[in-house]
Amino acid sequence: MKELVFKSEKGNPVTTSLLVAEKFGKRHAVVLETIGNLVTENSAAKFFYKSEYDNRGKQYPMYIMNRDGFSLLVMGFTGAEALKFKIEYINAFNRMEKQLKEFNPANISRLQLLEMALEAERKVIALKPKAD
């Protein structure tokens, strides 16, 4: 199976309705219909981009979606894979919340602050040639 998420031409993480259908064991036509309903009912058009794919020389519709579109779509799914995704999603939020609560700048030593600043500066320097 292909990776569910890949990098778009602009460097953003995206996925397609085809990959979602494959991952969650849904018919692609059902996924297309669900996305169409989301776009119409919830003004979610900014999360989805209508596209096409080629199969044996014939063009078929598909959607490319960002993370928000993917989340919106999959949260409506049922079944074992959908439940697994929802639980992983909740756990990720809980882990992040815990990390944010545990982070206390008062507990960071001067050396750690300097190391963090140095690392940030290295990242800026590494990215600068790409921006030029």
Domains and CATH numbers, the chain: 6-77 (1.10.10)
pLDDT digits (tens, 9 = 90+) for 78-116: 888 888 888 887 887 788 778 777 777 767 777 887 888
Q: 10 Å Cβ neighbour count for 64? A: 17
Cα(38)–Cα(72) distance, integer angstroms: 8
- Judged against a pLDDT cut of 70, whether residue 69 lies above it is answered with yes
pLDDT digits (tens, 9 = 90+) for 8-32: 778 788 899 999 999 888 999 999 9
pLDDT at 128: 58
pTM for the whole structure? 0.66
Cα(65)–Cα(3) distance, integer angstroms: 14
Q: Is 102 helix (H, G, I), strand (E, B) or coil?
A: helix
Residue range 44-67: mean pLDDT, rounded: 94
Give the C-alpha distances (Å, rounded to integers) separating 128 from 13, 118, 124.
Answer: 22, 15, 6
Q: Can you name the residues that pair with 15 across neighbouring β-strands?
A: 65
pLDDT at 121: 82
Cα(79)–Cα(95) distance, integer angstroms: 24
Cα(128)–Cα(117) distance, integer angstroms: 16
pLDDT at 130: 53
- Judged against a pLDDT cut of 50, whether residue 132 lies above it is answered with no
